[in-house]
Amino acid sequence: MKEPEGNEIEVGFVDPDDASAIRRVRIGREASLLDAARAAGVGMDATCGARGRCRSCRCKILSGDVPPATMQDTLQLGHEEVRERFRLGCQTRPVTDCEIMALPPKSEAGHQILTGTNPMGGATPDESGFAIDSGVAKHVIHATPPREEHRQTSDLGQVLEALDIPVERQVPVSVMRKIPGELRKQRGELTVTTFNRRIVDVEAGDTSEHAYGMAFDIGTTSIVGTLLHLETGEEFAAVDSVNPQTVYGGDLMSRIAYAQFDEKKLVALRAKVLNAINGFVKEACRMAGVSRDHVYKIVVVGNTCMHHIFLGVDVTFVGLAPYAPAVSDGIVVPAGELPLKSAPHAQVCLLPIVAGFVGADTMACVLATRIYESEELRALVDIGTNGEVVMGSKDRLMACSAPAGPALEGAQIRHGMRGAMGAVEAVTIDDDVHCNVIGSARAIGICGSGLIDACAKMLGAGVLDGTGRLRTRDRERLPPALGARLRTAESGVEFVLVRDVDAGKNEAVTLTQGDIRQVQLAKSAIYSGIVLLQHVMGIGDDDLAELMLCGGFGNYINTESAVAIRLLPSVSLDRISYVGNAAHLGAQMALLSERERTRAEELAQRIEHVALAARPDFQDIFVDGMSFATSRAVEPKGAPVEPERLPTETSRPVESERTAVEPETASVGTQPRRRATG
């Protein structure tokens, strides 16, 4: 993989009739493959206006990292083509230098977005198994107000009589209040909106073209959301920000500890996220120029802690053995009950939870990656503050929690920061250090991908040893420029990545010995989760057909560096793939398809949860995972074993399972921390 230089990426277009003929062009990071094709003079159509609603810009990525698929990629191309590196040019922004081939379909007639074809909005799945059937349907009717005194009916009765489909006669009070006025506005022309046979709104006139929904992934560190059209799947707006709850703690245990046995503090946490979601709905609708009254369905995914806080459910006992959630089934609740006042007619759907620390976001990842129907063994790894690992195939799926804490997202690191302008994102070391900085600006800090890259390159250059110790005793053996970057400061030994004269704030960007230890703790949590599931299933690295990285942070990791420092096991690099923010993609799938939402309920019952703290070999695996070099062979032994039951009240404290990050960070756990995403 060739890293892009500065703020540009090189895209090569291979001629389908002559593989030796390649047109190359350099584009900005925000440009799409369609933009690149136009700049290179390559014929690539966009008959839908580059809205992701056709396949005329279909192309295949021949070399370079494959950008994560969007919802539109999945809808138009299907899961099989997405897995085979096909993408829509109008929806895809390359992440590294790459070569692609424009391969538009011979006919658009053979594949189109599936929408509701029966009165209740049903649809037949396409070859990929996905069909748009959001459960929301809009019915245009003509009803007349009651006119005869001797044959008394009601306004609602007249509306129900005009509907030619079976619906529940019980309607929300908010709808009852609207019917008398709306019924008499447009000579009885009404649009009745239903969600799974329940009336959720009534409007005068024909508003059948306006049906929208939002999908949210509420992460520990950040929140992302998209506004989609429920009939076409078209994305109208995207919103995101840091989770405002971070002021109460950067990790789950900090927030659980804050709200434990204190209802007022739970209310404070909940207010933060509800205000954020309300604000996002307003912002997205403003950006798209649509009415908030036409947002009818909202799907929310997140880990168990975020899920419970969003609903206002006590999280006290999620933090105590046996770490059980208060509720694990999928939930549908009217927005007004939460309350989400910005979407008064919406039904809010939350996906099911697998276990206390394997939440609805994991279920969304499983939906998005379709690991549940794989013929071969695969692993799905969500690298984040509250990470999870899912492993298996169509025959058996297992999951465990592997929370890395906020270190890999820049927190608890001296010069850590989000992946924003001025962050070191990649490092190269020869006789000296060379850093790639986001935005080609002067460096002011380092983000998660830069941390992983820096540790790997420092290890390769001999600046770090296998135990993670900075080299201080015989630094004269290093090239002079590298040796000069090792220095002793008030906080101890540190390595200078960017000197103060080259930095953006005239302050050197360094990695301290303490920073290295935080990286070791975080990466061992992920590594241990993967290896432990391999032990339980009795499989080795060579048995995994694919290791899928998901989460916003995972997309920016240099996989070679991740394997070098043992964040990931020694899997061949060509078997490691990026699947993007799979939790958010899964939420979008559940938004557009009730079949997918129902599937999540079924899968949640199938997935076997493995509690790390209950495994007798966990501590040994974790300690081994702390090192940057293999200290001893850690291989699966014997046949696959059954997962352990959840720990009892007398088991080790929850911090043992929520990674051993807590022992070294306990002294600073209550201090304010800088937030960051990688």
**Can you spell out the DSSP letters for 362-414?**
HHHHHHHHTGGG-SS-EEEEE-STT-EEEEE-SS-EEEEE----SGGGTTTST
CATH value at residue 278:
3.30.420.480
* Entry field: residues in the chain: 678
Domain boundary (102, 125, 154) is at 102
Separation between Cα atoms, residue 279 and residue 270, nearest integer Å: 14
Say whether 44 sits in a helix, a strand or coil.
Answer: coil
Amino acid 148: pLDDT: 83
Q: What is the DSSP letter of 657?
A: H
SS3 state of residue 432: coil
The answer to whether position 588 is within a domain reads: yes
Which pLDDT score, from 0 to 100, does residue 657 have?
37
In this structure, is residue 243 part of a structural domain? yes
- Looking at residue 644, its pLDDT comes to 38
Does 549 reside within a domain? yes
Question: What is the per-residue pLDDT for 34?
Answer: 92
Q: Are residues 435 and 407 in the same domain?
A: yes
- What pLDDT score does 129 carry? 56
CATH number of the domain enclosing 168: 3.10.20.880
Instruction: Check whether residue 185 and residue 329 sit in a common domain.
Output: no
Q: Which of 78, 102, 126 is the last residue before a domain boundary? A: 102
- Which of 204, 236, 252 marks a domain boundary? 204
Task: Tell me, yes or no, whether 189 lies in a domain.
Answer: yes
How far the first Cα of the chain sits from its last, in Å, is 20
Q: Are 501 and 391 within one domain?
A: yes
**What six digits make up the tokens of 19?**
């593989």
Q: How many domains does the chain have?
A: 4
Q: Which of 117, 118, 113, 116 is nearest to 128 (CA)?
A: 113
Same structural domain, 542 and 574 = yes
Domain identity same for 346 and 388: no
Q: What is the pLDDT of residue 321?
A: 86
Report the CATH number at residue 95.
Answer: 3.10.20.30
Cβ of 207: how many Cβ atoms within 10 Å?
17
Nearest to 140 by CA among 194, 186, 185, 207: 207
Q: Torsion over CA of 132, 137, 138 and 141, rounded to 10 degrees?
A: 130
pLDDT of residue 663: 31
451 within domain boundaries: yes
Indicate whether 561 and 421 sit together in one domain: yes
Q: Is position 401 within any domain?
A: yes
The Cα-based distances of 402 to 75, 144, 546 in angstroms read 31, 60, 19
**Same-domain pairing of 177 and 249:** no
Which pLDDT belongs to residue 79?
Answer: 80
Within this chain, do residues 486 and 553 fall inside the same structural domain, yes or no?
yes
Establish how many alpha carbons lie within 13 A of residue 305's alpha carbon, considering only the half-sphere containing its beta carbon.
30
Question: Is residue 640, in this structure, part of any structural domain at all?
Answer: yes
The confidence score (pLDDT) of residue 639 equals 45
Co-location of 500 and 466 in the same domain: yes
Whole-number pLDDT of residue 126: 47
- d(CA 32, CA 461) in angstroms, rounded, equals 36
Do 381 and 330 lie in one domain? The reply is no
CB neighbour class for 110 (10 Å; exposed up to 12, middle 13-18, buried from 19): exposed
Return the sign of the alpha-carbon dihedral for residues 34, 38, 44, 47. Answer: positive
Q: Which domain holds residue 157?
A: 136-204
pLDDT at 122: 40
**Regions of the chain short of the pLDDT cut 70:** 1-6, 105-129, 552-555, 630-678
Is 185 domain-assigned?
Answer: yes
Give the helix/strand (H/E) hosting 623: helix 618-626
pTM: 0.81
- Say if residue 487 is in the same domain as residue 618: yes
Local structure of 76: helix, strand or coil: helix
Residues 378 and 390 sit within 8 Å (Cβ to Cβ): no
Q: Are residues 234 and 317 both part of a single domain?
A: yes
